Amino acid sequence: MTSKQMQARVAADMALAKKDFARRLRAARENAGLTQTQLANQIGRDWASVQRWEAAKTSPRPGMIQKLARVLDVSEEHLQGTLDSAETTLERLIREVTSTSRALRELQVAIDGITATLERLENRIQHIEGAVAPITRREDWDHSAQEAHDRIAAGLAERRADRAARPRSS
């Protein structure tokens, strides 16, 4: 991985962590029954700071995270996302199972389509093989043609003999 790719990945991870923190902060504030203004007053900040944190525009300093956790009655780890709550873990697992289940259904539809196509191709091949089987080799074809010629010639010879054996009427 190049240095630029690594920097991009770190930036993306940081943005995701900031959004996760914002979501957790808002949920904890709402669970505590506080408005942004009420929370801001209890931690000694203005409501705009709380609004920026919840909008993931900025992040509070570590000391402020401590105050937020104490006021909201949650752990710092929970706010920072380093310790998932059981509910968050369950939600994530449900999303993963749903996504996997959807992918498996789509895969099954694709497999069914491929299977149907293979069956149609197999039927066509059998049909072609059935039509081609009597003419497998040139010698067989030549032999069959000779047999047909011989049968026709024998039939003609029998008719001539029958005619010659019949009495002629005058």
Q: Give the pLDDT confidence score for residue 76 in this predicted structure.
A: 86
> What residues have CB less than 8 Å from 47, skipping those under 6 apart?
35, 36, 37, 40
Q: Kindly state whether residues 10 and 76 are assigned to the same domain.
A: yes
> Residue 47 belongs to a domain with what CATH number?
1.10.260.40
Q: Kindly state whether residues 25 and 77 are assigned to the same domain.
A: yes
The Cα–Cα gap between 98 and 106 comes to 12
With bands split at pLDDT 50, 70 and 90, how would you rate the model's confidence at 150?
Answer: confident
Angle, CA 79 vertex, CA 5 and CA 91 arms, to 5°? 80
The one-letter amino acid code at 82 reads T
Q: Determine the structural domain holding residue 68 and report its residue range.
A: 3-83
Comparing 19 with 139, which gets the higher pLDDT? 19
The Cα–Cα gap between 76 and 82 comes to 9
Domain presence at residue 170: no
Q: Kindly state whether residues 19 and 53 are assigned to the same domain.
A: yes
Query: What value does the mean pLDDT of the chain take?
Result: 83
With bands split at pLDDT 50, 70 and 90, how would you rate the model's confidence at 1?
Answer: confident
The Cα–Cα gap between 18 and 80 comes to 9
Residue 14 has pLDDT above 90, yes or no: no
Q: Of 15, 50, 83, which residue sits at a domain end?
A: 83
Q: How does pLDDT run across 91-147, given as a tens digit for each residue?
A: 777 878 888 888 899 999 999 999 999 999 998 888 877 666 655 555 666 666 778
